[in-house]
Structure 1
Amino acid sequence: MGSSNEQDEDHHERQQRKCLWVNGPVIVGAGPSGLAAAACLSQNQIPSLILEKSDCIASLWQYRTYDRLKLHLPKHFCELPLMGFPQNFPKYPSKDQFISYMESYASHFSIHPRFNQTVQSAEFDSVSGFWRVSTQDSDYISRWLVVATGENAEPVIPDISGIERFTRTVVHTSMYKSGSEFKNQRVLVVGCGNSGMEVSLDLCRQNAIPHMVVRNTVHVLPREMFRFSTFGIAMGLLKWLPLRLVDKILLLIANLTLGNTDQLGLRRPKTGPIELKNATGKTPVLDVGALSQIRSGKIKVMEGIKEITRNGAKFIDGQEKEFDSIILATGYRSNVPSWLKMCDCFSKDGMPKTPFPNGWKAENGLYTVGFTRRGLLGTASDAMKIANDVAEQWKDGKNCCNSYVIFLKESECK
């Protein structure tokens, strides 16, 4: 009897679900990558539909970033395709300025994502040749699927021995807003990337005492060299010189301007910063003031954690200290494997198996944007390639938007 009831409930739920044909690609994610893809498609007169699990565009920027965040690169390296930043924006726009730019971008291209749609699964039907993208209340059917959830879809929460015993505040940087919440506290910051450095700097300005855990090697570069963006200099040199030579030049200038960071407990990797970024996605830290605070002792560099205690932490060098709070500056990761089904084109860590610059296109009408490990420059490149590729198919009459197909797919959904 119970089994029959369950079947009836499943049948009723299937009947309640809406099934919607999308005349154009379905794009998953309304961050910069999804917006860029939709804009480039629009420029080619191709409609699309963005599905976004949150209630706004760029939810990572709106909900999961700290107040003092600014773009690490000059604005002209961070523009989305077809529309630049306002001229009156500063060289390094603030968080709020970047959000306003993306809202203006969406408005300009008449992009209207469907919000509060969490994609639970996306699967290609080899018989029909269509993608079925399922959210909590609807199924969306399309010839094309664009994965735009990016490299930073969900926080990485490390498994640190004993952290469950800590009786005080533990927060990931995705929930961190300002150092004012930690005023005068002793804070353990786990992670030494750009977020860990900037959070530690922010804490200093509120008279907190940050202890930053540096477990691995890290490249620290000045944000600017000779008043020019370090990134811009690197991009310019790469047009003329081999990558490894450019890395050597960057490190030479960094050592001249910043000194030997090894003496501060920040050991450099053997692989150069650009080569390492391309190979692993590990971004070099662009210093905006944290190094001077480390030199002065206001930011204390700690070796790896042995274990967390009730009131603090024990470190692998034998030290033990008490803390009022722990902030996990441990980054983000892709969530693609959790919802993209029966697809062999993504690795277990949620990145395309095909390396840059060809990872934007997979098989069966599947595309990816924002997985290049090259920031918004990579996003813009991917978005334009995707739009051009879909446009070629659109011209060939493969959009399958006749009423017979629509009727067929809606019938299948029931």
Structure 2
Amino acid sequence: MSTHTASLIVIGGGQAGLATARVARDMGLAPIVLEAANRAEGSWPHYYDSLTLFSPAGRSGLPGAAFPGDPDRYPTRDEVVEYLAGYARRLDADVRTGHRVERVSAPDGREFRVAVSGGEELTAPLVVAATGAFSRPHRPALAGLDTFDGTVLHSSDYRRPEPLAGKRVVIVGGGNSAVQIAIELAAVADVTLATRHPLRFMPQRIAGRDVHIWFQRTGLDTAGWAKPLLTGGKGTPVMDTGTYRDAIATGNPDRRPMFTRLDGDQVVWDDGTREHVDVVLLATGYRPGVDYLAGLGALDDDGLPRQRGGVSTTHPGLAYVGLEWQRSFASATLRGVGADARHVLTRLLKQPRPDGKKPARAAN
């Protein structure tokens, strides 16, 4: 088994990991980035074809590299993939693709040992888990789902509408992705959005400016009271220019209260009526893909990181970047990961080491 030592190991080479590596270099560290895939593009290549960012290009760049093109436009999935690939190529850091992390341990309580598939092992006093919030699709425990006779898909499986043409589709979920997929599918299929609460539309632009700009200017992005304001109440907020609300208002697709159960190839609605359904598509989000930390004792009973503002509450030297609402509304987005990376690295470098030493820094 080969062993290498680094000043910082970043797990994940998507937007969160790349941003962390850039900030780390700026702070004098020499990070090693470990990415399981063969390219450092994160989850973006696996999203549906028509996906566009919910924030404008001018607010979607990673540290040190503005997103190209009109700053007011909303970049497509493929544009984001191209941007990330270029960012990784130009990044002055050791980015190792094809390196899947299997586990992280801390046997001596001083340094972390990171075991990679293939037998390689790396050690470092600092580890940032940057595999983000979109690597583990969440499949809720819905009554009858496991015995449903039709097709069950997660939004992570969806690419384009044509394979579902002519089908009766029920989409579970009410966020932006759920609504965008539903409207796209409704052109070729019979589609219903099933949600526990009515949809809550929020304007994408206010006074001619994207709402994300206002979030930043007003401090709403990082205000402690912002999360209950934006996520509280009944209904997941949906950013909308007016297109989504108008489409739902026509009934194509329609929105109904959540069904009570699935039975065979039928859905049973809350009023007791039944109908045949071909496909149940779960637009029910993701959970952090940090199973490699399970043996370390850094996760709670639900497999979620024990952290505050991205800094581990269980292990000095361990932090996270890319978790939803880690520090702000934007924490899991392109525009938010850079600020969070600087926040957690600043705090890691101030933490006392168990051996009394300071983290090693790269030569400037």
Q: TM-score, normalised by structure 2?
A: 0.84
Name the structure 1 match of 2:138: 156
1:333 aligns with 2:278: no
- Superposition pairs of residues 8-407 of structure 1, within 5 angstroms: 18-63=1-46, 65-88=47-70, 91-126=73-108, 129-137=110-118, 138-205=120-187, 207-216=188-197, 218-238=199-219, 272-273=229-230, 276=232, 284-288=237-241, 289-337=243-291, 339-344=293-298, 346-356=299-309, 359-360=310-311, 363-371=315-323, 372=326, 374-375=329-330, 376=333, 377-388=335-346, 398-399=359-360
CA distance in 2, matches of 1:169, 1:66: 18
1:162–1:308 CA contact under 8 A, matched in 2: yes
Q: CA deviation at 1:195?
A: 1.3
| The 10-residue stretch of structure 1 (155-164 or 98-107) with the greater mean CA deviation from structure 2 | 155-164
1:209–1:299 CA contact under 8 A, matched in 2: yes
CA distance in 2, matches of 1:121, 1:243: 33
CA distance in 1, matches of 2:3, 2:168: 53
- Which has the larger strand fraction? 2
| The 10-residue stretch of structure 1 (324-333 or 385-394) with the greater mean CA deviation from structure 2 | 385-394
- CA distance change for structure 1 residues 310 and 340 in 2, over 3 Å: closer, same or farther? closer
| The 10-residue stretch of structure 1 (73-82 or 142-151) with the greater mean CA deviation from structure 2 | 73-82
Q: TM-score, normalised by structure 1?
A: 0.75
- Which has the larger helix fraction? 1
Bigger Cα Rg: 1
CA deviation string 1:238-283 (max 9, x = no partner):
47xx987x99xxxxxxxxxxxxxxxxxxxxxxx5326x49xxxx96
CA distance in 2, matches of 1:283, 1:113: 37
- Secondary structure of the structure 2 residue equivalent to 1:70: coil
1:333–1:349 CA contact under 8 A, matched in 2: no
Q: CA deviation at 1:28?
A: 0.8
Q: Which amino acid aligns with 2:40?
A: I
- CA distance change for structure 1 residues 349 and 91 in 2, over 3 Å: closer, same or farther? farther
Q: Which amino acid aligns with 2:240?
A: D
- CA distance change for structure 1 residues 243 and 32 in 2, over 3 Å: closer, same or farther? closer
Q: Which amino acid aligns with 1:366?
A: L
- Secondary structure of the structure 2 residue equivalent to 1:120: strand
CA distance in 2, matches of 1:283, 1:26: 35
- CA distance change for structure 1 residues 378 and 348 in 2, over 3 Å: closer, same or farther? farther
CA distance in 1, matches of 2:247, 2:79: 27
- Secondary structure of the structure 2 residue equivalent to 1:197: helix
- CA distance change for structure 1 residues 179 and 304 in 2, over 3 Å: closer, same or farther? same
Q: Which amino acid aligns with 1:342?
A: L
Q: CA deviation at 1:321?
A: 1.6
- CA distance change for structure 1 residues 41 and 283 in 2, over 3 Å: closer, same or farther? farther
1:334–1:349 CA contact under 8 A, matched in 2: no
1:21–1:140 CA contact under 8 A, matched in 2: yes
CA deviation string 1:74-132 (max 9, x = no partner):
123322112111145662111111111111111111445323333221112335x1101
Q: CA deviation at 1:338?
A: 5.2
CA distance in 2, matches of 1:238, 1:136: 42
Q: CA deviation at 1:223?
A: 1.4
| The 10-residue stretch of structure 1 (100-109 or 283-292) with the greater mean CA deviation from structure 2 | 283-292
Aligned length: 346
CA deviation string 1:312-356 (max 9, x = no partner):
311122121212222111110013255343334x44445444433
CA distance in 2, matches of 1:322, 1:94: 35
Superposition RMSD in Å: 2.9
After TM superposition, what 4+ stretches of structure 1 lie above 6 angstroms from structure 2?
390-394
CA distance in 1, matches of 2:10, 2:224: 34
